[in-house]
Amino acid sequence: MRLFGLDPGTVSAAVAAVLAPAPGDEEGERLVREAFSRTVWSILAEPGDGVAGMIARVLGADVGLDGLLQHWSVERFRDALAGHGRKKVVVSGLWTEVCNTTFALCAMLEGGYEIYMVADASGGTSKDAHDYAMQRMVQAGVVPVTWQQVLLEWQRDWAHRDSYDAVMAIAKEHSGAYGMGIDYAYTMVHKAPQRTHDKHEALAAVPAK
């Protein structure tokens, strides 16, 4: 693992005073990497950040952080893209003005990829930083999209029942007024049960005095 340009030996030495793994202790070295990575995650992500938590949970804190900090110049990432044989790449991440922009511009120039940047699933250090980075990428040929646009374009047709329920669940939870509209249609038109933690009860009418 390579973090901030430091080789694994340097990283391990920097935190060895905390966990002090014995020489040749692979499990101890793994714990060092994990502890270091979790500390960095706590700096990078806001408390309760669901995306960061999912990455650390699924990939492991060290592997997830390693992937987050690597960029286009890493051969394994380019190889992984080339291995799929596809030229359209949907991108989102942090930060818009650094990682996203660098990746997008290099991917288009060096790899001939068509980049779709999910603007509202990416963030910069300020609104201006995000907005001007998006403008720069669009001028260079990046296609700007939103997360819901990507989701519904992938679904394409409600007849695709294999993904219908999952897409509806995401939309109801995160799509604001559209999600409320789905709930309304489910409960009022299709008579589905209410989507609440506690059952809502209608109050009896009170006559006007």
The β-bridge partners of 145 are 118
108-125 residue pLDDT tens:
988 889 999 999 989 898
What's the domain count of the chain? Answer: 2
Which bin fits 12, alpha (ψ -120 to 50), beta or left (φ > 0)? alpha
Model pLDDT for residues 124-159, shown as the tens digit of each residue: 989 999 999 999 999 999 999 999 999 999 998 888
Higher pLDDT, 177 or 27: 177
> pTM of the prediction?
0.60
198 occurs within a structural domain:
no
- Residue 56 belongs to what domain range? 8-69
Q: What contacts 130, CB < 8 A, 6 or more positions away?
A: 96, 97, 119, 122, 123, 124
Regarding whether 160 and 125 lie in a shared domain, the answer is yes
Same domain, 99 and 56: no
pLDDT for 44 equals 61
Which domain CATH number covers 153?
3.40.50.850
